[in-house]
Amino acid sequence: MQRRSLFLRTFAGAIAGSLASAATVAAAAEAGQSALPASALKEFVPSAEKPLLLNFNENSLGMAASAKEAVAKSMGEAFRYPDAVRSGVIADIAKHFGLASENVSLGNGSSEVIQAVIEAQVHKAQKVGEKVQLLEPVPTFGVAAAYAEALGIPVKDVVLKKDTLSIDVAALKAAAAAFDGVSIVYFCNPNNPTGIITPATEINAWIEEAARTNAPVFFLMDEAYAEFVSDPAFVSAVELVKKGLKNLVVSRTFSKLYALAGLRLGYGLAEKSVAADVNNFESIDNTNVAAAVAASATLRDENYLKLSLEAVNLSRKVVVEAFEELGIAYLPSQANFIFHKVKGAEGEYTKAMAAEHVMVGRPFPPFVEWNRLTLGTPGEMKAFVKVLKKLHKQGLA
């Protein structure tokens, strides 16, 4: 699974004219100009019994009240198989994107969708005697590579560009063109762990070109963090599904913005025949009642979703302001985490944070001098900043 330019540190300066400072925003929130609950704004106190968990990109705001209510109500029917609620959430997802239910494939988390897509494409290629490889940028979310390796499929890693840490689309294209067989391209956008996007002019254009030329390339577009993106250069690959392209699946999740990580529900969006192929490799009744009703409720809860975004954006400002103050390099995040530079030997920063009861991201080779920080609630990030400043004095940040 463990598979700089000047802008790295000056991104905040470029947006200073359009964004209030973290202190100003926090003051406004605490003055009652925000609907965020007081518990989200109050400074968190990490302890051995209750450490600060900023290592798995979860949504610390917690489930929407509407989702909790839906789960509680559903328990009276939980002894039944989930066919009705499963069909319901599929219809809700399809409506949300302007697609048909036949375009949607549900997974036990988006990881099951990723697994099923890889298995479906590998089976399709091997059935006609074609070689197949998985192409991925590195570092990125590691499950696709793990599933491919479990099937005995070679994985070709393409390291991020060293100056910007952006995905090297040209190198991925070259690797696909050089392979005598089918390439499954796993592409996380925004990328995890960097949190930066690849513009549509690069990746979406390649997908359309590959479809037009019937190139032996299939794209698995992981958009787990797409709901956090504000950069207009990003255009969801769902738009290509709407065009009827058959050379991609877009995977998404209810684990991040929707705060349902523990209930495990993800989904894939694809052209109808492609979605049907994916469904063939997913388990039957793979969606539990609680997850389905919670997802449907949260998908309709516009107030909660706005609140969830507000919390992440405020937390990002709190952290970015601290990085700017301390002169710490970081990437301009379009997700609910931020990738930043650290000092010391490999893993030393992570261990030092853990000693303060703050859990941050693991190393992501080959960029081990960087760390991925989950953006928790504003109150949690206040606690993080305190520890960060302490470690900075020790030369570890």
Domain residue spans in the chain? 7-64+303-393, 65-300
Q: Is residue 107 within 8 Å of residue 224, measured between CB atoms?
A: no
Ranges of residues in the chain whose predicted pLDDT is under 70:
1-34
Q: In what order do the strands lie in the sheet with 248-253?
A: 104-107, 266-269, 248-253, 217-222, 182-188, 132-138, 155-159
Q: 7-64+303-393 maps to which CATH number? A: 3.90.1150.10
- Cβ within 8 Å of residue 23, ≥6 positions away: 321
Token pair 């989950």 in the structure block, residue: 374
Write down the pLDDT at residue 34.
Answer: 65
Token pair 């590195």 in the structure block, residue: 138
Per-residue pLDDT tens for 21-35?
A: 334 444 444 444 568
The CATH topology of domain 65-300 is Aspartate Aminotransferase; domain 2 (3.40.640)
The Cα–Cα gap between 103 and 338 comes to 32
- Cβ within 8 Å of residue 344, ≥6 positions away: 352, 395, 396
Q: Is residue 270 within 8 Å of residue 221, measured between CB atoms?
A: no
- pTM to 2 decimal places: 0.91
The Cα–Cα gap between 162 and 138 comes to 11
Q: CA nearest 274: which of 117, 123, 90? A: 117
Exposed, middle or buried by CB within 10 Å (0-12, 13-18, 19+), for 346?
A: exposed
Q: CA nearest 315: which of 28, 15, 101, 40? A: 40
Write down the pLDDT at residue 330.
Answer: 98
Q: Which two tokens stand for residue 162?
A: 């060293």
Q: State the Cα angle at 149 between 144 and 151, rounded to 5°.
A: 100
Distance between alpha carbon 129 and the CA centroid of its chain, in Å?
A: 34
Cβ-count burial 270-292 (b if 16+ within 10 Å, e if not):
bbbebbebbbebbeeebbbbbbb
The Cα–Cα gap between 351 and 363 comes to 11
Write down the pLDDT at residue 35.
Answer: 85
Q: Is residue 325 within 8 Å of residue 117, measured between CB atoms?
A: no
Write down the pLDDT at residue 312.
Answer: 98
Write down the pLDDT at residue 15.
Answer: 32
Q: CA nearest 247: which of 332, 358, 121, 356? A: 121
Q: CA nearest 337: which of 308, 316, 323? A: 316
The Cα–Cα gap between 365 and 322 comes to 25
Write down the pLDDT at residue 33.
Answer: 57
